[in-house]
Amino acid sequence: MINEKLYSIRMRAAAGGAHEKGGKHISGGERLAYETEMEQITGDLLKKAFSHQRGKPDFFNLVIEDVKFPVCRGEPLFVSTCNVKDPLEGKRTAEVLLCQCGLTYEVINKALGILVNNFHVRGAIIIDANTGERLDNRKDKGVRVSQLDWRQSDYKNWCVANNTAENVRMKEALTLATKVCSHPATIAEICWSDDPNYITGYVASPKRGYERITKMKEKGDEHGGRLIFIDSLQAMDSYIQYLEKQPFMIRNGGEEK
């Protein structure tokens, strides 16, 4: 497969019209595929959008583009789990973990306040790790981390080696967090889903790995989002360029493909 051409596939779906026309974000997805896999992966994205718990989309957008840069490969972050009794303990745990990444409670609270006021944003919000201020100017769009994937066979091997049940959400989130944390400017990331029935979230960092938190919200709650804390001395444009455009494939000890 080494010389086969790779494509970036991106999907976004909304209800009540397109996102830019005020529609409600239902689902998004970003993958990397060789031509022979394109039909399967496009089908998976269609299924993801049209069987979503946030509702039925009436707008679906699919973009397939050549991958323009050499693929960067990295090992998945180390995964651990914090079992918490309720969402309140989940939030407190997340704050402690973020603090252990070097953020102050002032910064953490300010940033979480920004997230709570921006649950409708459909990408990640980039935060200055020193001040807690929002750094991207993407408004409701945020920054979608794109051009990333984990070959299914490699992922299955990883699940066996780590004694973990296969879970497509965790696969996507761990892929994204690994790409985000592979950039030297990243300090930490926090995320929980906007899907009403998925309540496990995580804090990820280059320092501590991917730390799952079993309850970040109540079942039925449609509010979720993502914050990425970065060292603000780094250039924003090249950071966003990395998140959106640098192809990144997880490699876990398997053969290079």
Cβ contact 96:102 at 8 Å? no
Separation of alpha carbons 216 and 203, rounded Å: 11
- Which residue do the tokens 């496990």 mark? 200
Minimum separation from the CB atom of position 2 to ligand WAQ (A): 27
User: Phi and psi (nearest 5°) for 226?
Assistant: -145, 135
Show contacts with ligand WAQ in window 178-237 (CB under 6 A).
191, 193-195, 198, 200-202, 212, 224-226
Minimum separation from the CB atom of position 76 to Mg ion (A): 21
With CB cut-offs between 5 and 8 Å by kind, which of Mg ion, ligand WAQ, none does residue 201 bind? ligand WAQ
Q: Does residue 127 belong to the site contacting ligand WAQ (CB under 6 A)?
A: no
Minimum separation from the CB atom of position 32 to ligand WAQ (A): 13
User: Phi and psi (nearest 5°) for 212?
Assistant: -75, 145
With CB cut-offs between 5 and 8 Å by kind, which of ligand WAQ, Mg ion, none does residue 28 bind? ligand WAQ
Question: Which residues make up the interface to Mg ion (CB under 5 A)?
Answer: 194-195
Separation of alpha carbons 126 and 107, rounded Å: 13
Minimum separation from the CB atom of position 198 to ligand WAQ (A): 6
Q: Does residue 122 belong to the site contacting ligand WAQ (CB under 6 A)?
A: yes
Residue 132 vs 225, nearer CB to ligand WAQ: 225
Q: Does residue 169 belong to the site contacting ligand WAQ (CB under 6 A)?
A: yes
Site string for ligand WAQ, 66-105 (x = CB under 6 A): ----------------------------------------
Q: Which of 103, 145, 185, 203 binds ligand WAQ (CB under 6 A)?
A: 145
Task: By CB under 6 A, name the binding residues for ligand WAQ.
Answer: 28, 30, 121-124, 142-145, 169-170, 173, 176, 191, 193-195, 198, 200-202, 212, 224-226
